[in-house]
Amino acid sequence: MEIDRNAMLHAVDRPVFHLVGEVADSLNRECYVVGGYVRDTILNRPTSDMDFVTIGSGIEVAKAVAQRLKAEHHRAHLAVFKTYGTAQVKSQGMELEFVGARRESYHHDSRNPIVEDGTLDDDQKRRDFTINAMAISLNLSTFGKLLDPFDGIGDLERKIIRTPLDADITFSDDPLRMMRAVRFATQLEFNIYPETLEAITRNAHRIKIITRERIAEELMKIVAAHHPSRGFMLLDKSGLLPLIFPELSALKGIDTSHGRAHKDNFLHTMQVLENVAAKSDNVWLRWAAIMHDIGKPATKRWDEKQGWTFHNHNFIGEKMVPRIFQRMRLPLNEHMKYVKKLVGLHMRPIALVEDEVTDSAVRRLLFDAGDDIDDLMLLCTADITSKNREKVKRFNENFLLVKQKLVDIEEKDRIRNFQPPIDGQEIMSIFNLPPSKPVGEIKDAIKDAILDGQISNNRDEAYQFMLRKAAELGLKPTGCSPQVQE
pLDDT tens-digit map of 46-70: 887 799 999 999 999 999 999 999 9
Span 97-116, pLDDT tens digits: 999 998 765 556 665 655 66
- Does 386 map to a domain? no
Determine which of 6-15, 328-337, 342-351, 454-463 has the lowest per-residue pLDDT on average.
6-15
Is residue 484's pLDDT more than 50? no
Look at residue 326 and give its three-state secondary structure: helix
- pTM as predicted: 0.85
Q: What is the pLDDT of residue 367?
A: 83
State whether 135 and 184 are in the same domain: no
State whether 166 and 234 are in the same domain: yes
Q: Which residue range(s) make up the domain with 226?
A: 159-244
Calpha distance 406→423 (Å, rounded): 25
- Does 323 map to a domain? no
Task: Give the rounded percent of residues in the chain with a pLDDT score beyond 70.
Answer: 92
- Does 116 map to a domain? yes
Q: What is the pLDDT of residue 254?
A: 82
- Does 232 map to a domain? yes
State whether 144 and 47 are in the same domain: yes
Angle at 244 between CA 341 and CA 265, to 5 degrees: 55
Look at residue 150 and give its three-state secondary structure: coil
CATH of the domain at 236: 1.10.110.30
Higher-pLDDT residue of 283 and 12 is 283
State whether 154 and 13 are in the same domain: yes
- Domain endpoint, select from 158, 179, 195: 158
- Does 391 map to a domain? no
Span 353-409, pLDDT tens digits: 666 677 788 888 888 888 899 999 999 989 988 777 887 787 777 778 777 878 777
Q: What is the pLDDT of residue 252?
A: 93
CATH of the domain at 18: 3.30.460.10
- Domain endpoint, select from 244, 267, 294: 244
State whether 147 and 166 are in the same domain: no
State whether 65 and 152 are in the same domain: yes
- Does 408 map to a domain? no
Contact (Cβ atoms closer than 8 angstroms) between residue 51 and residue 34: yes
State whether 81 and 97 are in the same domain: yes
Strands of 271-379, DSSP E: 301-303, 307-309
Sign of CA dihedral 310, 312, 314, 315: negative
State whether 65 and 179 are in the same domain: no
Calpha distance 17→23 (Å, rounded): 10
Span 156-203, pLDDT tens digits: 999 999 999 999 999 988 999 999 999 999 999 999 999 999 999 999
State whether 204 and 147 are in the same domain: no
State whether 179 and 35 are in the same domain: no
Burial class of residue 145 (count of CB atoms within 10 Å of its CB; 0-12, 13-18, 19+): middle
State whether 151 and 230 are in the same domain: no
Q: What is the pLDDT of residue 486?
A: 39
Span 297-349, pLDDT tens digits: 999 888 877 887 888 899 999 999 999 999 999 999 999 999 999 999 999 88
- Does 219 map to a domain? yes
- Domain endpoint, select from 244, 269, 291: 244
Helix boundaries (H) for 305-347: 313-328, 334-345
Nearest to 131 by CA among 75, 83, 169, 187: 187
Q: How many domains does the chain have?
A: 3
Mean of the per-residue pLDDT values for the chain? Answer: 89
- Does 277 map to a domain? no
State whether 43 and 140 are in the same domain: yes
